[in-house]
Structure 1
Amino acid sequence: MTDERFVEQLTQHWQRVAKRDRQRELTQPKPLGALVQTDRPYIAQASPLQKLNLYFPKNVNLNTEKLPTIIDIHGGGWMYGDCHLNDSYCLFLASQGYAVMAMSYRLLPQVGLKEMIEDVFASLHWLELFGSQKGFDLTRVLLVGDSAGGHLAGLTLCIQRSPKLQLLYGVEALDFDFDAAVIICGVMEPQKLALGNGIMSRAAKVQLKLLTRKNTAIANAAGFSQACRNIKLPPLMIIGSEEDSFWWQTRLFLRTLTANKLDFQTKLWRRSRGKHLGHVFNVTHWEWSESRETNFAMLNFFKQISASKHKK
């Protein structure tokens, strides 16, 4: 099959996912107690996929109160989604007393991984400049990513702490740092996608070509296991489920964290808890009891790490 045909099949796959997402959102309850400011450009002359959303709890005076910060990077196979994809999830997090930012970033096949990372860092530099004016406390920051967004979040952690990777990806380090990160059903090793099943695995070689754009140096740093070597990262929490179609990627990720002696804890759901707990279930179905348990565990993890940091 030609590369063009694989790209066409991937596009059709994500169009079907988008249709299912829209249908789900029509019947899904919305979180109460939060509001959103939408579609703020984070660079001059921004494209439609270079904008961000800000989420806040209701009834908070942001002129006098600074809230702990959560930054969310959406998934979608590097090919689908925008800053609205995780709206309900971000509204729920904000309703618990957090200032939340979610960004869009340009996607395959129009751009590669380098440009996606450039967009993520551009949105973070926007937050660096304007966040404190809007109620974000950038001394308490949690980075969250799900699926392919987990991959981008993992790379962002590594790049923030590596001048070599900053040069490779053409970005500047942030003035603020991340207290911790949460990776949800992360697809952390795009170079190993062919080991799995489904359209993304069948098209793995084409996706990797699109991500790396024949840049050997990028190809050698595209996977989290490649990027994280000899870098001390903040504490991580890994969320996963055995019913996730990418559970095998979560297992690879856990092995990488252990091999590199990185600080992490887990919230893993076993198959016995039910077949509905599939890929990124706690993001797409924030209202489920299992999702609430998972998301409160995530927030408690952040609170503990942040409290420990500020005691020092």
Structure 2
Amino acid sequence: MQDESLLAHLMHNWHEVAKKDQQRILRQAKPLGALTQTDYSYISKAGPLQKLNLYFPRSFDTEKLPTIIDIHGGGWMYGDCHLNDNYCRFLAFQGYAVMAMSYRLLPQIGLREMIQDIFASLHWLESFGSQKGLDLTRVFLVGDSAGAHLAGLTLCIQKSLRLQNIYGVEALKFNFDALAIICGVMEPRKLALGNGIMSQAANLQLKLMIGKNPEISNAIDFSQVCRNIHLPPIMIIGGEEDSFWWQTKLLLEILKQNKFEFHTKLWLHSQGPHLTHVFNVSHWEWSESQETNLAMLDFFQKNSVSKQKN
């Protein structure tokens, strides 16, 4: 299949996903107890995909709250800062400030520009978050699917001057205490090993990611960028019903090989066929999702407490 027709097929697939997501979100009840501040532009002359949302518990007063940064998934081609709205509301209700950003997408831009948008949103938070009640001494990073890949890259780039130069970003003045990876698609270069439209289009997606920036070609997979970097604790969330379970297994091997500290919340086939890709983000209301998300928050809390003790 030629690149043009393959790209059209891929974009049609994400258009269908978007319709299903919209139908699901309309049916879902919203979590109670959260306040939202939406569509802040994080750069001057921002485009429609250069905005962010903030979420707070309804009982929020003057005390600064621990902060969760959520990076949405969508195959690097789909989604915005509203996609995980209900999930972010649920996290906020548990006593966190949550920031979710949009970022520009393939095929309009490449991976380097995507990362630059994410860092621009984080620099906005660096400038304005504290006055809005976010505690930037307690910051946690989470991403799902392709958003997990972007979160993993963000964490490594923050720790590496070499990677900052490759991606053309400046380090943040705050750091991340922990990272949660949800059904992560962390190895784009290995996508051709799987099944489905994203695997069929793996070479095209890689070409689009690199775009006009060949210098990033050896700094795309998480396994490429995490070497020789000291990372904070990582939590891996996934399950055997996930169509990208094979990517989660790859990631677990990478973490073991690099001797990173990591924890897991993994669901078996026997625990339910409905526990598919990013189920705990798209279906916040399920009991399994709430169990998973509360386990993630417990992981964040323990790492925040241990940091304060040290």
- Which of the five TM-score ranges fits, normalised by the shorter chain? over 0.9
2:222 counterpart residue number: 224
Where 1:100 maps in the other structure, the secondary structure is strand
2:78 is the alignment partner of 1:53:
no
2:86 counterpart residue number: 88
Where 1:176 maps in the other structure, the secondary structure is coil
1:215 Cα shift?
Answer: 3.5
Where 1:297 maps in the other structure, the secondary structure is helix
1:101 counterpart residue number: 99
Q: TM-score, normalised by structure 1?
A: 0.99
1:205 counterpart residue number: 203
- Superposed counterparts of 1:100-119, under 5 Å: 100-119=98-117
* Amino acid of the structure 2 residue aligned with 1:36: T
2:70 is the alignment partner of 1:32:
no
1:133 counterpart residue number: 131
Deviations 1:18-76 (A, max 9, x none): 00001111111110000111110000000000000000000212xx2100000000000
CA RMSD of aligned residues (A): 0.7
1:44 counterpart residue number: 44
8 Å Cα contact 2:112-2:213 kept in structure 1:
no
1:219 Cα shift?
Answer: 1.2
Give the alignment partner of residue 147 of structure 1, picking from 138, 145, 148.
Answer: 145
8 Å Cα contact 2:240-2:268 kept in structure 1:
yes
1:213 Cα shift?
Answer: 1.4
- Superposed counterparts of 1:126-205, under 5 Å: 126-205=124-203
* Amino acid of the structure 2 residue aligned with 1:70: I
Deviations 1:172-195 (A, max 9, x none): 000000000100000000000000
1:127 Cα shift?
Answer: 0.3
2:252 counterpart residue number: 254
2: CA distance between counterparts of 1:26 and 1:13? Answer: 20
1:86 Cα shift?
Answer: 0.1
Give the alignment partner of residue 124 of structure 1, picking from 117, 122, 125.
Answer: 122
1:214 Cα shift?
Answer: 5.4
Range 208-217 or range 125-134, more displaced = 208-217
1:22 counterpart residue number: 22
Q: TM-score, normalised by structure 2?
A: 0.99
Give the alignment partner of residue 290 of structure 2, picking from 279, 289, 292.
Answer: 292
Where 2:14 maps in the other structure, the secondary structure is helix
Where 1:60 maps in the other structure, the secondary structure is coil
Question: In percent, how many aligned pairs have the same letter?
Answer: 72
* Amino acid of the structure 2 residue aligned with 1:203: A
* Amino acid of the structure 2 residue aligned with 1:209: K
2: CA distance between counterparts of 1:303 and 1:286? Answer: 20
2: CA distance between counterparts of 1:238 and 1:286? Answer: 17
The unaligned stretches of length 5 or more in structure 1 are none
1: CA distance between counterparts of 2:243 and 2:114? Answer: 24
2: CA distance between counterparts of 1:231 and 1:273? Answer: 36
* Amino acid of the structure 2 residue aligned with 1:45: K
Give the alignment partner of residue 238 of structure 1, picking from 228, 236, 239.
Answer: 236
* Amino acid of the structure 2 residue aligned with 1:250: T
2: CA distance between counterparts of 1:265 and 1:187? Answer: 18
1:243 Cα shift?
Answer: 0.2
2: CA distance between counterparts of 1:71 and 1:251? Answer: 24
Deviations 1:94-151 (A, max 9, x none): 0011000000000000000000000000000000000000010000011000000000
Give the alignment partner of residue 281 of structure 2, picking from 280, 283, 290.
Answer: 283
2: CA distance between counterparts of 1:298 and 1:167? Answer: 32
